[in-house]
Amino acid sequence: MYNTLSNLITYQEYTLPEITQRINTMYCLGHLTDEQRETLQKLAVEHLSIETERPEWAEIVQSLADRVAALEALHAEPDASDYPQWVKWDGISTDYQKGAIVSHNGKLWKSVYSGQNVWEPGALGTESLWVAYAPEGA
């Protein structure tokens, strides 16, 4: 009887009150030892399915998981690959005007210089020309 109940718990859907009643009935009939009863009760809790035991909780848990994922995405580190890589000024382009955001040496930089910013972000002496940048929500 122990093996039958063990297989039922491991491979079937059940509710905790239903399986507990079966375990207790078999125990009262003398088909299970104290140790087997205790083991089956622990096994029943370990294999409990939220979908069968409390379907409304499954929806709540999924909703919370979705909210956590959204919050994690909001606070994720900015991905430098989402921004153009800084390249040395070619003498012609106007790519690095005030407000331009670039990726350089694994960091994001925002130009705060009013005009064409021709200096390398993060280089010594450019602290008033480029500032480290983090997108809103990061």
| In the block, residue with structure tokens 């030892």 | 33
pLDDT score, position 60: 85
Indicate if the pLDDT at residue 101 is higher than 70: yes
Q: What is the mean pLDDT of the segment spanning 53-74?
A: 82
How many beta carbons lie within 10 A of that of residue 55, not counting itself? Answer: 10
The yes-or-no verdict on residue 77 having pLDDT over 70 is no
**Model confidence at 43: pLDDT above 80:** yes
d(CA 41, CA 38): 5
CATH superfamily of 77-138: Carbohydrate-binding module superfamily 5/12 (2.10.10.20)
Q: Whole-model pTM?
A: 0.44
Decide if pLDDT at 137 tops 70.
no
Every domain of the chain with CATH number 2.10.10.20 lies at: 77-138
H or E stretch at 111: strand 107-111
Rounded CA separation 136/81 (Å): 17
**84: which 2 tokens?**
């153009």
Residue 14 has a pLDDT of 80
